[in-house]
Structure 1
């Protein structure tokens, strides 16, 4: 089976929200009877946990934009600089605490068999609240895994710590040196790198196929949650359009009052502006109940 190309169904219409409902109560009435729910998670989900979204004018790291560093070309040119950037992100993610939105979504996954989450986050916070692994796909990988840039050997979190923790000590919070960039323990030639998908890299085909298969299953998706993302890039926008073609109603949760995107929300949809950590638990309360404080 070939990897589906959703690009043909991406709407060319602009971001429209004049008629979308702002009522949490209205969404609560709907979610009780919803049977198949697809959620798309972005960086705004983890912002209440203190992690930067790296968007806008303030989205810089030591004067660098993320798109300057999170690329294969940048790693080839200066692997020490790229590792220093990712070590900062790893440290921030390890020190962050999952918020109530992570808890609420994990609880929904436990209670609703027909719930699937697509996370574009690499921070590992969903896993730390025991979000059922079979109910979530990490589209961009995991910040705590590493792989070889040459032979593609893969080290998961526990094994990867043997690589990243010495680097943290070497960097001293400043920078690591080129001679300290870790080499692959298998081929001994390639450099180890964070096992996340960088700009210009193709996403994992098996993950894309699995998501496509779930979307095509019956009964059709009736609810699409878009949380903390403007969903302006492929395949995020395409998943929203694919769900809509199946008849799903779309609920967008975003801290921004005005946020460009390709949602094209209608009267039947929702735009709920606010902090995800506060809004999501309230939205899902009829299904998941009151979360422990």
Structure 2
């Protein structure tokens, strides 16, 4: 349990709801509490990236071409057809590289910079696009990994890579409109480790893989239970944190949040985080 004043800002994530107390949309009251907080945790989901033009696969029926993300974000598929998985992630890398951090990303980063001396501000994101870091945020935990790191399938070395494309064989590949459900790229032409020569994979947490226990420990104080990100607000609230939700969806009838603000994060966050 955290003993100081801790505030969780929960942005555009659908969380498990519990009926606990009536929430407030009183912005001045929220800002007063924010001013007194010693630790601020910002938990962001796909909504903030959607405002930068990165589509959510939930909105697209969870499909790339005609394949669900559960097939593509899967170590078994990577073993069977690594080229197909790399085409999918090449497509996502290119979208992320073209996108720009929006006013919400920037407001979070600038708030953390202004309060570096008096508050611990941590950005925890389920997004893999790197936009929080590009906006200038420093203390960023990427729960599900990032498009811009690779991991060796043999020696496990993790390296930053922002090349476009990441290898020549992926140039022009990854089109969503293609009907091809397999890759014709030879494995030898895919990204390989410069250290040991083995095949590289995206540094992404895939289905069936776990978020690092050290990350869970930092957020909720224990690594003994595997928490999905949507459960973090419930756990942190039970530990004494104040929870504020920023969402484009109207507030539910019952909620675990202390505050609930409706609107695009690019609009609400600059107001909420202004001094």
Residue aligning to 1:178: 185
TM-score where L is the length of structure 2: 0.79
CA contact (8 A) 1:16 1:264 kept: yes
1:33 aligns with 2:36: yes
CA contact (8 A) 1:60 1:66 kept: yes
CA contact (8 A) 1:17 1:271 kept: no
Deviations 1:146-188 (CA, angstroms, capped at 9, x unpaired)? 1122221222125xx2871524425284675331323333332
1:145 is paired with a residue of what secondary structure?
Answer: strand
Deviations 1:74-110 (CA, angstroms, capped at 9, x unpaired)? 1112111111110110000000010011111111211
From 246, 249, 259, give the equivalent of 2:239.
Answer: 246
Counting matched residue pairs gives 248
Shift of 1:14: 4.0
Shift of 1:209: 3.6
2:51 is paired with a residue of what secondary structure?
Answer: helix
Q: Return the alpha-carbon distance in structure 1 between the equivalents of residues 25 and 74 of structure 2.
A: 38
- 1:1-293 maps to which residues of 2 (within 5 A)? 14-16=17-19, 19-56=22-59, 58-112=61-115, 113-132=119-138, 135-157=139-161, 161=163, 164-169=166-171, 171=173, 173=175, 177-179=184-186, 180-188=189-197, 190-212=198-220, 234-257=227-250, 264-265=255-256, 269-285=258-274, 287=275
Q: Return the alpha-carbon distance in structure 1 between the equivalents of residues 76 and 44 of structure 2.
A: 27
Q: Return the alpha-carbon distance in structure 2 between the equivalents of residues 162 and 183 of structure 1.
A: 15
Larger relative helix fraction = 1
Shift of 1:208: 3.2
Shift of 1:257: 2.5
1:200 is paired with a residue of what secondary structure?
Answer: coil
Residue aligning to 2:8: none
Structure 2 residue runs of 5 or longer lacking an equivalent are 1-15
Q: Return the alpha-carbon distance in structure 2 between the equivalents of residues 192 and 199 of structure 1.
A: 18
Q: Return the alpha-carbon distance in structure 1 between the equivalents of residues 102 and 216 of structure 2.
A: 27
Q: Return the alpha-carbon distance in structure 2 between the equivalents of residues 36 and 172 of structure 1.
A: 41
Q: Return the alpha-carbon distance in structure 2 between the equivalents of residues 16 and 52 of structure 1.
A: 31
1:137 is paired with a residue of what secondary structure?
Answer: strand
CA RMSD in angstroms, aligned pairs only = 2.9
With over 3 angstroms needed to count, the CA separation of the structure-2 counterparts of 1:155 and 1:259, relative to structure 1, is: farther
Deviations 1:183-209 (CA, angstroms, capped at 9, x unpaired)? 333332x32111111111122233334
Q: Return the alpha-carbon distance in structure 2 between the equivalents of residues 63 and 127 of structure 1.
A: 32
Shift of 1:277: 0.8
TM-score where L is the length of structure 1: 0.75
CA contact (8 A) 2:43 2:123 kept: yes
Tell me whether 87-96 or 140-149 shows the greater mean CA deviation: 140-149
